[in-house]
Each structure stands twice: as structure tokens, then as C-alpha cells.
Structure 1
Amino acid sequence: MDYLIDDIDRQILACLAEDARLSLKVLSGKVGLSSPSTAERLKRLEEKGVIQGYGARINLAALGYSLQALVRVKPLPGMLHKVEKMIQALPECIECDKVTGEDCFVMRLVVRSIDQLDVVLDGLADYAQSNTSIVKSSPVTRRLPPLH
């Protein structure tokens, strides 16, 4: 996907990344366009796949998920596809990347306790080796890279 965006598109993306609930009227005012022009730009950004969706940022700790863990996963020989399917089925896995290097996957788990973390990891033990790091804090949360 190679889609060139201009400065107004960048402003729209930055505004929506900050607050995806902005009304079209407010968003239009922030970028200096009419509502119909802003709506057309939004539609084009969505159709081109630049904007893939809209969502809320949820405080997981407020829902009882007090621990997050980053887990590097190295499937045992012949278990790559099985482990991938197992990871996809884990409700505690909120993000996973297939990576190069010694490990095949790096996943982010959210759990309510160390005991729950043990249960989740025990489910993978017969099929993969894992190395777990508990997240102490997140000084940088997911954000947009520079848009220019």
C-alpha cells in the first residue's frame, strides 16, 4: 500500500489518534476545512486502508488486569503452526508479533495474577519454550510515528 498523504491528511490522522470520537464539525474546524471536504478525506483515507478502524483506549488495570507480560515464544520442532493457532486463541494475548531471530513470536499478555500467568504459560509448555518479562511500566504507549 503506497498512498501519499498531504499535510491536511496528517492533521486529520493526528487529531483522530488523539481523540477518535471527535465530531466531524470539530475535526473540520481543527484542520480548517468544511465538513463535506473533511468527510470526503476521511472516506478516502478509510478506502485506501490508511485508517483501518476507530477504537477506545481501555485502562486494563481498571478491569482487574493488574499484570502485563511480554513473552518470547520459540515453538518446538514441527509445532510452529500449532503454537501460532494456540496464541491466536488465547484471550489473555492482546498483541502478538511473528519475529525473526531465535524466537518466533513475541506476545503481550494481560492477566489478573501470577497464578493466571502460570496457567496460560503452562498451556504452551508442551509445544514451545518461552521467556517471560513482567511489564513494570509503559513509558511509551502505542502512538503514531512521524507522519512526514
Structure 2
Amino acid sequence: MELDDLDWKLLDLLQQDGRMTFTELARRVSLSAPATTERVRRLEQAGVITGYTAVVSPQRLGLPIEAIVRVRVRSLDTPRFRERMVTLAQVLDADHVTGDDCWLLRVVCRSMVELEEFVEHAQRYGDTTTSLVFSSAARNGPVTRNVLGGIVSR
């Protein structure tokens, strides 16, 4: 889908605040509310906008331990791993990737004991490497037109 300047402006605004009203969006892009609504609906129908979500703080919910668990899953175990590990409540993100470690899991836990139990469960499917997350400098960053131009700063 070819996006024009107005589409990109709408995407920028919605990625900053997905709860922004169509009236406010329209005001910010100097377009009528019905025309803005139609553009956003078109972006949704084309699959460019795939949803709206609330960003929640796991730490504020009593989940202070965050880790990246890399798992080298044996190929025959991949379907069971997807079914039994990726669906666990502790898993925030699960990426099937190339390289030695076939899965990267971002997990949150209430305690180190819970993380240890999670890792032991993951080890049923292959070797693991676990890294604790100290902080995240960038997460859920916006997709901007700049991404299409290669490596540039935001």
C-alpha cells in the first residue's frame, strides 16, 4: 500500500496516542473528521494499522523480574514448545529467529524462584540462556517513514 504524507501523519499521531479521537486527529492534520475517519478505516482495512492497545507496567503489577530467555529448541519439539511455552502467562514476546538460539522469549516474573521454574520448564525443549533486563532504552518504538529510508535517527 502506498502511503501519502497525510497517512504517515495519522500513523505518527496514533502511535503516540492510540486513544486520540477522530475529531482531535482531524484537527491535527487539518482535515474534516469524516475524511480522517475514512483514512484511518482504510489503513485498518489494509492491515497497516493492526490494533490498538494499552501499554501496562509489569513492575506496577507486581512483576519486577524481566528476562530474555533464549532457547535452542530441538526441531521435533517446536510444535510442543509453541503450544506449551509460548502460551504461558509470563511470556510477553516470543520471537522465532534464525541462528543458534531459535526462540527469544521476553518474560516477566514475580520472583527469581518463578523465573528459575520457567527456565527449568523451557529446558525440557532444549538448551537455554537467560539474561536479566536491567532497563530498556527503546521498546515499542513507532514505525516511521524514516525506517523506509534506511539507518537514520528519529
Answer whether TM exceeds 0.5 for this pair. yes
Equivalent residue, structure 1, for 2:38:
40
Of 16, 28, 31, 1:30 maps to 28
The equivalent of 1:130 in structure 2 is 128
Distance in 1, Cα, partners of 2:130 & 2:18? 33
Query: Paired residue for 2:62?
Result: 64
Q: What's 2:151 paired with?
A: none
Deviation at 1:99, TM superposition (A): 0.3
Identity %, equivalent residues: 33
Distance (Å, rounded) in 2 between the aligned partners of 1:63 and 1:121: 21
| 2:150 equivalent in structure 1 | none
Normalised by the size of structure 1, how large is the TM-score?
Answer: 0.93
In structure 1, how many angstroms separate the alpha carbons of the residues matched to 2:87 and 2:67?
Answer: 17
Q: Deviations over 1:41-97 (max 9, x none)?
A: 011000000001111111111101111101111113521221122222211001011
Contact 1:83 1:128 in 2 (8 A): no
Give the Cα separation in 2 of the matches to 1:78 and 1:49: 33
Three-state SS of the structure 1 residue aligned to 2:86 is: helix
Q: Distance in 2 between matches of 1:126 and 1:40?
A: 50
SS of the residue 1:69 aligns to: strand
- The amino acid of 2:81's aligned partner reads V
User: Which amino acid in 2 is paired with 1:17?
Assistant: Q
**Would the aligned equivalents of 1:94 and 1:108 in 2 still touch at CA under 8 Å?**
yes
Q: Is the counterpart of residue 82 in structure 1 residue 104 in structure 2?
A: no
1:146 Cα deviation after fit: 2.8
- Bigger Cα displacement from structure 2, 81-90 vs 21-30: 81-90
Question: What is the number of equivalent residue pairs in this alignment?
Answer: 146
**Deviation >6 Å, runs of 4+:** none
Aligned letter for 2:98? T
Q: Distance in 1 between matches of 2:7 and 2:75?
A: 46
Q: Which amino acid aligns with 1:93?
A: V
Distance 1:59 1:77 in 2: 34
Matched-pair contact (CA < 8 Å) for 2:8–2:144: no
**In the alignment, which of 101, 104, 107 is matched to residue 106 of structure 1?**
104
**TM-score w.r.t. length of structure 2:** 0.90
Q: Structure 2: 5+ residue runs without aligned partners?
A: 147-154
Structure 1 spans left out of the alignment, 5+ residues: none
1:145 shift after superposition = 3.1
Q: Cα RMSD (Å) of the superposition?
A: 1.2
